[in-house]
Amino acid sequence: MMVVSAKSVVCLCFLFSVCHVRGAYIPQKMNRTILNLLKHYNISKEEKYNGQLVFSKEAIPEKLLEKRVFMRGVLETYETLISKMLKELPTPLPDTTGSKGGVGEGGAGEDVRTELNYILQKVLELKKNQYKEHDNLLSSLKKLISIKMDNATVQSKALGELPWLYEEASDLNNEIQSRRRRRQARKVKTHQRG
């Protein structure tokens, strides 16, 4: 009995990996919630299908490490975006009149709030569980972008720091090139042998 169930688990895992399709990671509830939210955040068909993505697919790097750092940035962007959307929701008014209309409107807003909060929570979970180690790299990149370039002190100091940074950057490039050369040499060797 135990053996059989272990076997079927293996089978299932195998099946899962073979049948792994896009969307396998999206919980049904999350998918439904997004569809629901899109009813609220509706835009015209022309805008929706104008072929311009907010997150362009070409921008996603192919190399694994680069991709991970980039995807962490994407998650963080969603964190900021959804927080902003939450802030823009009308604050629930205290129900003083007891009129049905007011309650209905407030109710719809609260649904959206609940749904946005759920999506935000899913994004934060993924970021926390799988992207913790890239915290530092991304914040370093952000610091780089936020350097005050019109400040004379910054300009002078940056100039002074260029020699060692230039060397670091050149070194890295050499290293990548020599790795590539080694790889190619190995390929040629195996090719000659074969």
Ligand X SMILES: *[C@@H]1O[C@H](CO)[C@@H](O)[C@H](O)[C@H]1NC(C)=O
- Residues engaged in binding ligand X (CB under 6 A): 23, 26, 31, 38-39, 42, 151, 153-154
The residue among 103 and 158 lying less far from ligand X, judged by its C-beta, is 158
**Quick check: 119 and 37 in contact, CB under 8 A?**
yes
Q: What are phi and psi of 56, to 5 degrees?
A: -70, 140
Residue with nearest beta carbon to ligand X: 23
Total count of residues recorded for the chain: 194
Rounded least distance, CB 116 to ligand X, Å: 16
The residue among 141 and 154 lying less far from ligand X, judged by its C-beta, is 154
Convert 21-43 to b/e letters by CB count within 10 Å (16 or more is b).
Answer: eeeeeeeeebeebeeebeeeeee
Rounded least distance, CB 123 to ligand X, Å: 16
Rounded least distance, CB 170 to ligand X, Å: 27
Rg (CA), the chain: 26
Separation CA 56–CA 54 (nearest Å): 6
Rounded least distance, CB 112 to ligand X, Å: 13
The residue among 3 and 43 lying less far from ligand X, judged by its C-beta, is 43
The residue among 61 and 107 lying less far from ligand X, judged by its C-beta, is 107
Instruction: Give the type of residue at 184.
Output: Q
